[in-house]
Amino acid sequence: MLEYIILGFLMSGEMSGYDLKQKMTESTSNFFDAGYGSIYPALKRMEAKCVISSREIVEGGKYKKLYAITELGKSEFLNWLELPVEFSRTKPDHLIKVFFFKFLPKEKAIEKLKAFINEVEPVYKKFNEAESKVKGKYDIFEFSTLIFGVGYYNYVIDWSNNLLKELKGEIL
């Protein structure tokens, strides 16, 4: 998937590995993120497959490598894009632990759930704040994936808070 994301970004123009990571952070990270340790090896593989090319420049006295999509890369990307959109269940690994919280003392389960909420809330806030900053900057398809991420994190927080209330006996 990472390679297709990179190809998609490069459809808009040349980018460095750093640029690709920044673009991912501000746009796709709510549903797909990768670090430099994954991006640079992917770029190397992609260049070996001739779906991208690179050129070196010096900018501000610093070495910079820019990547561009090739005609083969454009063809592969567009062929992939033409395939049917397949629904894939997300990997909500947190549910595995919650499922087994019955084996913890109630107070410990409440503590763990509160810690989980405290971990998710800043991510939700980050994406929620990004919504107003990027509105109009991205096209409707790119923006709609951000809206999905905001809604997803909001749902996870609401679900967790409801479970917490139920554990505390505040709702039935």
Q: Length of the chain, please?
A: 172
107 within a domain of the structure (yes/no): yes
Single-letter amino acid code for the residue at 151: G
Whether the predicted pLDDT of 89 surpasses 60 = no
Range of the domain at 60: 2-82
What's residue 171's pLDDT? 56
Place 172 in a pLDDT band, splitting at 50, 70 and 90: very low
Give percent above pLDDT 90 in the chain.
46
Mean pLDDT comparison of 33-47, 81-95, 146-160, highest-scoring range: 33-47
Number of helices (H), then strands (E), belonging to the chain: the values are: 7, 2
3-state secondary structure of 56: strand
| 56 & 18 share domain | yes
pLDDT tens digits for range 18-53: 999 999 888 888 778 899 999 999 999 999 999 999
Reported as type and span, the H/E element at residue 167 is helix 140-167
**What pTM was estimated for this model as a whole?**
0.67
Q: What is the DSSP string of 3-28?
A: HHHHHHHHTT--B-HHHHHHHHHHHT
| 70 & 116 share domain | no
111 within a domain of the structure (yes/no): yes
147 within a domain of the structure (yes/no): yes
| 107 & 77 share domain | no
| 109 & 63 share domain | no
89 within a domain of the structure (yes/no): no
Whether the predicted pLDDT of 162 surpasses 60 = yes
What's residue 1's pLDDT? 87
13, 68, 15, 22: which is closest to 46 by C-alpha? 68
| 7 & 77 share domain | yes
| 75 & 136 share domain | no
87 within a domain of the structure (yes/no): no
Distance (Å, rounded) from C-alpha 94 to C-alpha 65? 39
Whether the predicted pLDDT of 59 surpasses 70 = yes
Q: How high is the mean pLDDT of the chain?
A: 88
104 within a domain of the structure (yes/no): yes
Between 70 and 120, name the one with better pLDDT. Answer: 70
Per the structure, the count of domains in the chain is 2
